Amino acid sequence: MGVLESLTGLGLATSAGLNAYIPLLAIGLLARYTDLITLPSNWSWMENGWTLTIVAVLLAIEFVADKVPMIDHANDVIQTFVRPTAGGLAFGAASSSQTVTVSDPGSFFTSHQWVPIVVGGAISLGVHGMKAASRPVINATTVGFGAPVASTIEDFISVTLSVVAIVLPVVVLLFLLLMFLGFGWLMRRRKRHKEEKAAAKWAAAQGWRPS
């Protein structure tokens, strides 16, 4: 697996951490209708018409659920299992690894074909954790009104990152840097918000109100 393939897999797995279905749909559509990506035979199911239809339906459900306060939290809990799986599939397909062979499952492990899938799953799980941790901050500081805005931005990043990872993988590192900077800013804001709440509770307990 070369550097560019690794960057492509990294970008797609990161995208899956934000939205499980966007990178899968991007891989399938671009493989089916363009020459931008050619899937190995064992991954050809990703460009199958039925697969694309199912992924598109799941994407539509996710698109709505992730934009409604409270429901977005329940959705994140469910997606804890879905997004790492999607990330593993995306990384595996991008790196041209083979899927599990039913006739000889042992070769899947002895040939290390499982490594890209596990790596992709771990990357997606980490990004999913960042997303799930930042959403309560956004909801609390905007009284829920920030949920649809944040979700739309995340979807846009996921779409852009998926396409960039396939077309121009060297730019993936820049995207990741910007994402981590944004997450750091949100976590600092979360800490400040907690400190302000704690100070307000202490002031209330002392029977004092700020002028």
pLDDT of amino acid 194 = 67
Tokens 């979807």 belong to 155
Q: What sign does the CA torsion over 109, 93, 60, 157 have?
A: positive
CA–CA separation, 130 vs 176, rounded Å? Answer: 12
| Three state DSSP letters for 147-211 | HHHHHHHHHHHHHHHHHHHHHCHHHHHHHHHHHHHHHHHHHHHHHHHHHHHHHHHHHHHCCCCCC
Instruction: Note the pLDDT tens digit of each residue in 105-119.
Output: 444 445 555 566 677
The pLDDT assigned to 109 comes to 46
To 5 degrees, how large is the angle CA 172–CA 177–CA 181? Answer: 150
Predicted confidence at residue 55, as pLDDT, reads 93
Contact call for residues 121 and 20 (beta carbons, < 8 A): no
Q: How far apart are CA 163 and CA 155, in angstroms?
A: 12
pLDDT tens track for 142-151: 666 777 888 8
Whether residue 102 contacts residue 147, with contact meaning beta carbons closer than 8 Å, is answered with no
Contact 17, 131 (CB under 8 A): yes
| Residue of 100, 104, 124, 126 whose CA lies nearest to 113 | 100
**Residues in the chain where the model's pLDDT stays below 50:** 97-109
Is pTM beyond 0.75? Reply is no
Give Cα 93 distance to the centre of its chain: 16
